[in-house]
Chain A
């Protein structure tokens, strides 16, 4: 193996330098404040989990998990998301609590990147989980809170796209009864965003023209709540109608929250092959080329921890949100610098403490230790020179 250069980091790992740390901190505070204002309680879980438990049920693909062995030879994973660990907690330590639970988190998650060095393998997510509420009010609460949190960060332009996996599945299963392979293939094409492949696969199926038409009609079901009508005409079975009623109810509730203008519908949205079970959503902002946030209902996860409860939640990708805000978050003002020498040191300490008590951030710097005083002092918004030698930053 080639010798590592001293500045190298493992693939996909990044340092967070002070200026970016401050921006992130600012965005994080606004997000968490908004989430707390909806009565959600923050919690944390370990970075390491068993592969056997959390690793297996997580929505993250197995090849994206960072795995290691503990002293006993158990396979561990670095947590790839926060949802599975929180489900584990909800199903164990919190299972005697009165449901619904409203939980929130803020933490780093880890996903190994194989093809690109440019994509982060560790990133921060802020998110929520609403556990034990299976109604459309629950779905709407989570989406409304997501929109409210994004607005609180100062993000003005964004879109939340909402779909329903139950609708898609019921349509496929109705058109292709007992043909699980075809259903999975169609879902896979949608998941891979390959409409060309989807259409040619539909054309190749030996089903009636009418059935083919309703499968391709699915691709048109995007836009405002105006698509509901056409969707309803497609959905003939019980499950499809139930899904449509849920979406309608969701839309109505989002209007009552006053956030419906941020929402559009896309009934062929598939965020994940087999994780979500009902309403699901993704959020985008115009100047970030990738997903900003996502979430949905995942009623099968808690049962895998032996707790019969439904759940829904969202996660925001904090770094991408900072990128989307593109500098529009205020940057924390830099500190005050008190320049001292041997004679004025004690005086400098007093001065600094006084300023600190006024909530200022104060650096005490001995003049002898700075090679280029002019360059150094540029970092500070205010300079107090105790030495009287005129080190005010001007030359």
Chain B
């Protein structure tokens, strides 16, 4: 790092009053644009392009340039390679992206050594931010958004429940969060099935739920084809007709609702962003997105993370100028409090994890469009895993 410092010093000497000159601040984003998770990259890009279209590319005369890298199908070695290239060759001043947990974990060492402020736009396993002091997360953790749902279910007259979760780490985290808080509230679990990721037909699982006569079913599956097939099977199999309430997380984001029939109406979910909320920030956000990516564009968790991540980059450059150290940037960002389209957000200064509202919503039909309508807000939700595991590294 001595070399970089020397170069910086030399550059400063050559340019003299460097502060006054226009500079380019580069923000490198590593995300999947191809393979099974391609939709994440696309949603990040749309919202970040929309942000730049609305706010311009200049901050106080300095250009913010975004550099994209496609890490394909969740390949950790690619993620690490790109981080190195972006830092050494492209001289980015901030990194961001990361859809899956291994992609984020793979760069922890690199960003720690190079003191590179890194904004996680999705990767949701709780422990990630403890792996480097330069990680800051603007997405969520699963316990954070699922805990309120478990509590809500227990409090609102649901006595028995069943969980169906994909059998992989995020599925286990979601299941744990729901079960723990539902039981703590006095609820009784009738079954907890974990579904192999290779499964595409969910009929036998729904049949088990139906037989169990549980009052509610909590589901968790990777967003996209698996989660859609799962919710469809719930609809089709008459679980709703049998009076079973469907509880979910990101499975029924508005972007996926056209994939289901009207029978999805009434599904309860809890996430950190309600697409249809009427905050002025959200209306502006959605308009910017439509201007950028077309009239049918619907934001999701990825878009809101991209938008807020980009906002943090702009705010940092606005406050610190075009040159800053990683420590300065992280210190600045984690102290930031502002009104996001999702609601007020701030950061846990120790864990560098986002603190935000979690909304309990119900799928409804308004003006012929299926939307999520929030009806309960849990304010300032933290990541409960960190509180439960203060010393885990």
Same complex origin of A and B? no
Name A residues whose Cβ lies closer than 8 Å to a Cβ of B: none
